Amino acid sequence: MIFVNQLYIYPIKSMQGVPLKKAKTSDGGFEYDRILMITEPDGTFITARQYPELLKLKTLTINNEVYVFLSSTKTIKFNFNEFSFANEPTEVWGNHFTSHIAPIRVNQFFSQFLHKDVQLRWVGKQLTRRTKRYPEAPVSFANGYPYLLLNKASLNYLQHHCPEKLDIRQFRGNIIIQGALPFAEDGWKTIKIGEVIFDIVKPCARCVLTSIDVNSTKPLANNEPLKTLQHFRTDDQGQIDFGINMIARNHGTISIHDKVEILERQIAKNYIKTFPPKIKSETQHCAITFEGKTIKGNNKQTILEQLEQHKIALPYSCRSGVCGRCSIVLKKGEISSLTQSAIKHNHRILACSCVPKGDITIELIKK
């Protein structure tokens, strides 16, 4: 079953996300999601792309009040009634609309933090911004669309190929799902989660913000994970995608563990596959002991593939982690999983979707 694993909102654009157990959809996105944003004095948006230190700031919204925590001792509190009544020109990625400016004391707080003159802005009660492809759909300060869905299995697949340790929070999703195959979301057109029906607008184009460590706010080495993503998630326009943008047809509540129903599918977007050739020095050899027989293995291929190369047959059907026919018992050692479903209870793993990290001992499941 595909279900919701995590939910996040980002009350102030580019600052830390707030994990939730349930979230309400509203005009423009989840309630309180990206309703505030740092801007230049002329209303041009500022993000953690230019100022990654914004990721250090924690936010909390309680009814009409907002709290921003720079540290345990440095905090600012304000409410929406303090914002200007005037509709001020504002811009996000060439999209022009209006918003309201925070009081001077709040702007000074953020200006001192960034060492430059900035303003905090609020979208207001009546959203004046619209998405480019769906002019009837309001949107807050999000980059382009109200909702971003991520698939944990897709992240696991990316992590298997990426040399840097990743955190799903780097991709700033609202809805993180579990139980689907890697990049199954590419082929969805309409889905239902809890009470809400979503239309998938497009894959989400990614930028340098995904390469910033959410804990240290320092960039990862070699522009990762974009460097790895470009090998298999680049389209013919040179755009790198990860996750899917969505709009909601109705208002409702979504909770952790809610089932994800696929109502309509579509043909998935094509991507250019340009994985670099494997460098021999990167491959680490290991020993795979299966039913008392030891073979020479490596940390690049799945267990199923390596057993087959040594003429050891296991039952299989899908070879993608769905059917479960290649289930075996991991008695000793560690493995990397390509899919969320590859690791079961009682040390059972799927040979088609697991790769050895070093020496391992495996056995058939005893009946």
* CATH 3.10.110.10 holds for 3-265: no
pLDDT at 145: 94
pLDDT at 318: 58
In angstroms, the CA 184 to CA 181 distance is 5
In this prediction, residues 22-36 reach a mean pLDDT of 95
Helix boundaries (H) for the chain: 104-114, 152-161, 226-229, 303-309
What distance lies between CA 94 and its chain's CA centroid? Answer: 24
- CATH 3.10.20.30 in the chain is located at 280-363
In this prediction, residues 4-10 reach a mean pLDDT of 98
Higher confidence at residue 16 or residue 275?
16
CB–CB of 338/288 below 8 Å? no
pLDDT at 238: 84
What fold is seen in the domain 280-363? Ubiquitin-like (UB roll) (3.10.20)
For 47, residues 6+ apart whose C-beta sits below 8 A from its C-beta are 13, 14, 38, 54, 209
162 has pLDDT over 80: yes
Residue range 349-361, pLDDT digits in tens:
999 889 999 999 9
CA contacts within 13 A on the Cβ side of 99: 29
Percent of the chain's residues with pLDDT above 70: 96
Mean pLDDT of the chain: 92
CB–CB of 100/88 below 8 Å? yes
319 has pLDDT over 80: no
CA contacts within 13 A on the Cβ side of 183: 16
Radius of gyration of the chain (CA): 23
In this prediction, residues 133-157 reach a mean pLDDT of 93
In this prediction, residues 40-53 reach a mean pLDDT of 94
The sign one gets for the Cα dihedral 20, 156, 2, 192 is: positive
- CATH 2.40.33.20 in the chain is located at 3-265
Residue range 220-279, pLDDT digits in tens:
988 899 989 989 999 888 889 999 999 999 999 999 999 999 999 999 999 988 776 554
Cis geometry, peptide bond prior to residue 225 (ω within 30 degrees of 0):
yes
CA contacts within 13 A on the Cβ side of 255: 4
Higher confidence at residue 340 or residue 327?
327
- Binned at pLDDT 50, 70 and 90, residue 290 comes out as very high
The secondary structure of 204-229 as a DSSP string is EE--GGGGB-TTT-PBPGGGTTHHHH
Segment (H or E) for 263: strand 260-265
Neighbours of 198 (CB within 10 A): 26
Selection from 129, 120, 122, 172 nearest residue 147 by Cα: 172
Segment (H or E) for 122: strand 119-122
280 has pLDDT over 80: no
For 293, residues 6+ apart whose C-beta sits below 8 A from its C-beta are 312
Write phi, then psi, for 169 (nearest 5 degrees). Answer: -70, -20
321 has pLDDT over 70: no
pLDDT at 222: 86
One-letter amino acid for residue 78 of the chain: F
